[in-house]
A and B are shown apart, each in its own frame.
Chain A
Amino acid sequence: MKQMIENIEVRAKEELFINIHPIQAAGRLTPEAMKAVIAYGDGYSTCDWCRKPFRLDKIQRPPIDEFHAELAKFVGMDQARVVPGARRGFQAVVSSLVEKGDSVIVSSLAHYTEFLAVEDAGGIVKEVPLNEKNVVTGENTAQKIEKVKKETGKLPKLIMMDHFDYMFGNEHDIHGIAKVAKEYGIPFLANCAYSLGVMPINGREMGANFLVGSGHKSFASPAPSGILATTNEWTEKVFRTTQMVGDVTKRKFGIKEVEMMGCTLMGANLIAMMASFPAVRERVKHWDDEIKKINYFMDKFLKIEGNKVLSEMPRKHTLTKVDTTGSFDKIARTHKRRGFFFSDELKERRIVGEFAGATRQWKLNTYGLTWNQIKYLAQAFQDIAKKYGINVA
């Protein structure tokens, strides 16, 4: 493939290969978003028509204000902001609610950026253990709250829980956890980085006070991009505007939101999110088909002797952790290319995105593949197995 400019190659992975990378699948751009990147790539491109009151979410041309309103409706909340990644959504909420020494309840499968957000605010994470199915339940969350209360004499300031986690792609008891949060009067943030944008999500029905999504993980948008949404009750707290006055100049910037650092996601990233939005709105209606596809693939995958699935089954998400220690890893132990033999075989079949060299536990994601591609993928795995004498039922 030709280089775009010196030392930067054209990335044509998505045009040339089936990409099963666990976190890249649902962030692939729609054609509309690709066009937005071309047309709005210049730095302050979204600011051509920025008029009073000079804030990103108030811009009417292109209709950024309307997008924010529609986005809030789409996720079943009152207010939404775009942010540079889900992590900045966690950070905004934690920074608004948590003070030094406060406890924050998170999952034992929490994303590392949830840890960082708490650390940044001087708080302390308290992890809820998983049950035997690697799922966080409302019951376990309640037990953890009681434990924290006993140890510190105070209730946690926030519960931050993943809807689907990054490790197994398992669905956690988000409704049960929200109910527990409500009973204890603790604000609840639902981390929907792996669900908002691929399946129908309604924060209010979920019982969330805050909803966080990822543009580049699940909203067919460039990185970094994300969504933070909340209810009217919390808007003034998290989206509070600056009160600061310059001591010499007496300058004030009243409309700017402190946690958002004024304007948030400008330029091509925002316009690409907006451009993908109609397709995203449509695609969440077809989540069932994505689930059918991953379960079809898993059915074929498990026909290979020694293969296991570590995520909950049947699959409720396309992100899945598998274990091939009893199959492909056996070959890797004596192969001159070790674990890379498997990557070589996949690449030869125009499949990429596995963790190169890994033949024990690894993750894949089939989101967005067509049925033809899913069938091709399943056949390719079985063909590799047969080539190396592994039984396929």
Chain B
Amino acid sequence: MTEKAVEETFVALFALIDLRQIFRDTKPTYQFSDEQKRQIVEIIEKVRHSLDVIEKELMK
């Protein structure tokens, strides 16, 4: 395992914090703007990518 897995763990955690902020900004109806929808997609992709890297690193 390299530092990469640790780095990606933080990337994923921080991305999820950004998602948390979107929840805060849109509660209690969660009606997302187009920009927020775009951000949500980006966050999910980022987290998914980080998990892929982590999996690859840890399963070597």
Complex A-B, nearest 9 residue pairs according to Cβ-Cβ distance, in ascending order: A350-B28, A15-B23, A31-B21, A34-B17, A35-B14, A31-B17, A14-B24, A35-B17, A38-B13
Once the chains are docked, how many angstroms separate the CA of A28 from the CA of B25? 12
Once the chains are docked, how many angstroms separate the CA of A38 from the CA of B17? 10
CB-based nearest B residue for A373: B27
Question: Is the CB–CB distance between B18 and A17 below 8 Å?
Answer: no
Chain B, residues 18-47, CB within 8 Å of chain A (1/0): the string is 101101111111010000000000000000
- Identify B29's interface contact among A14, A39, A376, CB under 8 A: A376
A–B Cβ pairs within 8 angstroms, 12 of them: A14-B24, A15-B27, A16-B23, A17-B27, A17-B28, A34-B20, A35-B14, A38-B13, A38-B17, A39-B10, A350-B28, A351-B28
Chain A, residues 27-41, CB within 8 Å of chain B (1/0): the string is 010010011001100
Besides A16-B23, A16-B28, 11 other CB < 8 A contacts? A14-B24, A15-B23, A28-B24, A31-B17, A31-B18, A34-B21, A350-B27, A350-B28, A372-B29, A372-B31, A376-B29
| Size category, B interface | 10 to 19
Q: Is the interface of B mostly helix, strand, loop or mixed?
A: helix
Q: Which residues of A contact B18 (CB under 8 A)?
A: 31
Q: Which of B20, B21, B23, B28 has the most CB of A within 10 A?
A: B28
- Identify B14's interface contact among A15, A16, A28, A38, CB under 8 A: A38
Q: Which of B10, B18, B21, B31 has the most CB of A within 10 A?
A: B21
Question: Is the CB–CB distance between A18 and B27 below 8 Å?
Answer: yes
- Identify A15's interface contact among B13, B24, B31, CB under 8 A: B24
A281 at the interface (CB under 8 A from B): no
Once the chains are docked, how many angstroms separate the CA of A35 from the CA of B26? 20
Q: Is the interface of A mostly helix, strand, loop or mixed?
A: helix
Chain A, residues 1-42, CB within 8 Å of chain B (1/0): the string is 000000000000011111000000000100100110011000
CB B39 to nearest CB in A, in angstroms, measures: 12
Q: Interface residues, chain B, CB within 8 Å of chain A?
A: 10, 13-14, 17-18, 20-21, 23-29, 31
Once the chains are docked, how many angstroms separate the CA of A373 from the CA of B29? 9
CB-based nearest B residue for A37: B17
Q: Interface residues, chain A, CB within 8 Å of chain B?
A: 14-18, 28, 31, 34-35, 38-39, 349-351, 370, 372-373, 376
Q: Which residues of A contact B14 (CB under 8 A)?
A: 35, 38
Q: Which residues of B contact A351 (CB under 8 A)?
A: 28
* Known contacts A31-B18, A31-B20, A31-B21; A18/B13 CB under 8 A: no
* Known contacts A15-B23, A39-B10; A349/B17 CB under 8 A: no
Question: Is the CB–CB distance between A15 and B29 below 8 Å?
Answer: no
Q: Which residues of A contact B31 (CB under 8 A)?
A: 372
Once the chains are docked, how many angstroms separate the CA of A14 from the CA of B22? 11
Q: Which residues of B contact A14 (CB under 8 A)?
A: 24, 27
CB B27 to nearest CB in A, in angstroms, measures: 6
CB-based nearest B residue for A15: B23
Q: Which residues of B contact A18 (CB under 8 A)?
A: 27-28
Q: Which residues of B contact A31 (CB under 8 A)?
A: 17-18, 20-21
Once the chains are docked, how many angstroms separate the CA of A388 from the CA of B36? 37
Q: Which residues of A contact B25 (CB under 8 A)?
A: 370
CB A237 to nearest CB in B, in angstroms, measures: 41
Once the chains are docked, how many angstroms separate the CA of A34 from the CA of B10? 12
Once the chains are docked, how many angstroms separate the CA of A351 from the CA of B17? 22
Once the chains are docked, how many angstroms separate the CA of A376 from the CA of B18? 23
Q: Which residues of A contact B20 (CB under 8 A)?
A: 15, 31, 34
